[in-house]
């Protein structure tokens, strides 16, 4: 496995979050095309391959866990939210890290040069008051 490729992850997330096309008799198809399905099969699964996975540094020390992926308004996967420290979510410090800084090595996610303390020293990431579509639908 090589570096996590933002474009590959973005492609997967786009396919998962893209609005379904309206079905018009004889004109549009519901779902993905054969070409798009090949990209889905070859790509990464955010749920299975990224979210909840441990992040290590160059010395193979655990420095955090990927808790979220941020898709920017232009539909690109831009940042990974890494949770550092804490126990069962209490005292955890979340930080935003550009996805291009994270590498995949030997089936592990690696953030070169990182330490728990260095991540804790970064500004804490906090979600804005903006509700996600999922949160709004739950109301």
Structural domains of the chain ordered from first start: 6-126 (2.30.30.240)
**Residue range 52-98, pLDDT digits in tens:** 999 999 999 999 999 999 988 887 888 999 999 877 667 789 999 99
pLDDT for position 139: 45
Q: Cα–Cα distance between 9 and 50 in angstroms, integer?
A: 10
Q: What is the DSSP letter of 128?
A: -
**Average pLDDT for residues 20-35, to the nearest whole number?**
66
pLDDT for position 46: 83
Contacts of 102 (CB under 8 A, 6+ apart): 3, 4, 55, 80, 109, 110, 111
Q: What is the DSSP letter of 99?
A: G
């Amino acid at each position: 496995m090589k570096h996590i490729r933002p474009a590959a992850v973005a492609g997967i997330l786009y396919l998962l979050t893209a609005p379904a096309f309206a079905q018009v008799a004889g004109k549009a198809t519901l779902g993905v095309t054969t070409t798009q399905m090949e990209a889905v099969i070859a790509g990464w699964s955010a749920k299975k391959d990224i979210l909840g996975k441990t992040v290590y540094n160059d010395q193979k020390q655990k420095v955090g866990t990927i808790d979220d992926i941020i898709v920017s308004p232009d539909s690109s996967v831009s940042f990974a939210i890494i949770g550092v420290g804490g126990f069962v979510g209490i005292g955890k410090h979340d930080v935003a890290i550009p996805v291009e800084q994270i590498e995949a090595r030997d089936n592990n996610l690696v953030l070169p040069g990182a330490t728990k303390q260095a991540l804790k020293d970064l500004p804490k990431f906090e979600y804005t008051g903006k509700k996600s579509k999922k949160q709004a639908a739950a109301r």
